[in-house]
Amino acid sequence: MPQVTLGIDIGGTTTTMGFVDELGNILAENTMATLAKEHITMFLPRLYTQIEILQKSLPDDSPLVGIGIGVPNGNYFKGTVENPPNLQWGGVIPLANLLETQYKVPVALTNDANAAAVGEMIFGAGKGMKDFILVTLGTGLGSGIIVDGKLAYGYTGFAGEMGHLTVKHGGRLCGCGKRGCLETYVSVTGIRRTVSKLLADSMVSSSLRELSQNDLTGEMITQSALQGDSIAQEAFEYTGMILGQKLADVVALLSPQAIIMFGGLAHAKDLIFQPTLKYMEQNMFPIFKNTTKLLISELQDKNAGVLGASALIWERIKV
Amino acid sequence: MPQVTLGIDIGGTTTTMGFVDELGNILAENTMATLAKEHITMFLPRLYTQIEILQKSLPDDSPLVGIGIGVPNGNYFKGTVENPPNLQWGGVIPLANLLETQYKVPVALTNDANAAAVGEMIFGAGKGMKDFILVTLGTGLGSGIIVDGKLAYGYTGFAGEMGHLTVKHGGRLCGCGKRGCLETYVSVTGIRRTVSKLLADSMVSSSLRELSQNDLTGEMITQSALQGDSIAQEAFEYTGMILGQKLADVVALLSPQAIIMFGGLAHAKDLIFQPTLKYMEQNMFPIFKNTTKLLISELQDKNAGVLGASALIWERIKV
CB contact under 8 A, B253 and A159: yes
Claim to verify: residue A292 and residue A311 sit in the same structural domain: no
Q: Is B301 on the interface with A (CB under 8 A)?
A: no
Do both B158 and B57 map to the same domain?
Answer: no
* Parallel, antiparallel or unpaired: strands A107-110 and B258-262: unpaired
> pTM, whole model, 2 decimals?
0.93
In whole angstroms, how far apart are CA A164 and each of A33, A53, A176, B208? 28, 39, 8, 39
B291 touches chain A (CB under 8 A): yes
Which residues of chain A does B162 touch, with a Cβ-Cβ cutoff of 8 Å?
A: 252-253
Residues of A in contact with B257 (CB under 8 A): 155
Instruction: Please indicate whether, in this complex, the C-beta atoms of A283 and B176 are within 8 angstroms of each other.
Output: no
**Does A106 share its domain with A9?**
yes
Residues B194 and B138 in one domain: yes
Has residue A175 got a pLDDT over 60? yes
Q: Could you list the pLDDT tens digit for every one of the 319 residues in chain B?
A: 689 999 999 988 899 999 999 999 999 999 999 988 899 999 999 999 999 999 998 887 789 999 999 998 899 999 999 888 778 887 899 999 999 999 999 999 999 899 999 999 999 999 999 999 999 998 899 999 999 999 999 999 999 999 999 999 999 999 889 999 999 999 999 999 999 999 999 999 999 999 999 999 999 999 999 999 999 999 999 999 999 999 999 999 999 999 999 988 988 999 999 999 999 999 999 999 999 999 999 998 788 889 999 999 998 887 5
Say if residue A197 is in the same domain as residue A116.
no
Together in a domain, B73 and B107: yes
Smallest Cα distance from B124 to chain A, Å: 18
- Is residue A88 domain-shared with residue A205, that is, in the same domain? no
Distance separating alpha carbons of residues B284 and B293, to the nearest angstrom: 13
pLDDT at A319 over 60: no
- The boundaries of the domain holding residue A83 are 4-120+302-318
Burial A180-190, CB ≥16 within 10 A → b, else e: bbbbbbbbbbb
Closest Cβ opposite residue B148 in set A150, A165, A291? A150
Same domain as B167, residue B88 = no
Q: What was the pLDDT predicted at A13?
A: 86
Alpha-carbon span B104 to A139, nearest angstrom: 57
Nearest to residue B162, comparing CAs of B236, B251, B82, B258? B251
Strand pairing class (B107-110; B132-137): unpaired
pLDDT in tens, A35-61: 888 999 999 999 999 999 999 988 877
* The pLDDT value given to residue B295: 96
Q: Does B161 lie in the same domain as B223?
A: yes
* CATH number, domain with residue A202: 3.30.420.40
Question: At A99, which amino acid appears?
Answer: L
Does residue A39 sit in the same domain as residue A16? yes
B163/B215 same-domain check? yes
Q: What is the ipTM of this complex?
A: 0.93
For residue A224, give every residue at least 6 positions away whose Cβ sits within 8 Å of its Cβ, in sequence order, or none.
A206, A207, A208, A231, A232
Same domain, yes or no, for B286 and B150?
Answer: yes
Write phi, then psi, for B33 (nearest 5 degrees).
Answer: -70, 140
Cα–Cα dist B79/B101, whole Å: 13
By the CB < 8 Å criterion, does A293 face chain B? no
Q: Total structural domains in chain A? A: 2
Mean pLDDT of chain A: 93
Q: Which of B131, B155, B256 shows the shortest C-beta gap to A255? A: B155
In this structure, of A4-8, A210-214, A226-230, the range with the lowest mean pLDDT score is A210-214
pLDDT digit string, tens, across residues A107-135: 999 998 999 999 999 999 999 999 999 99
Which of B143, B147, B256 comes nearest A147 by C-beta?
B147
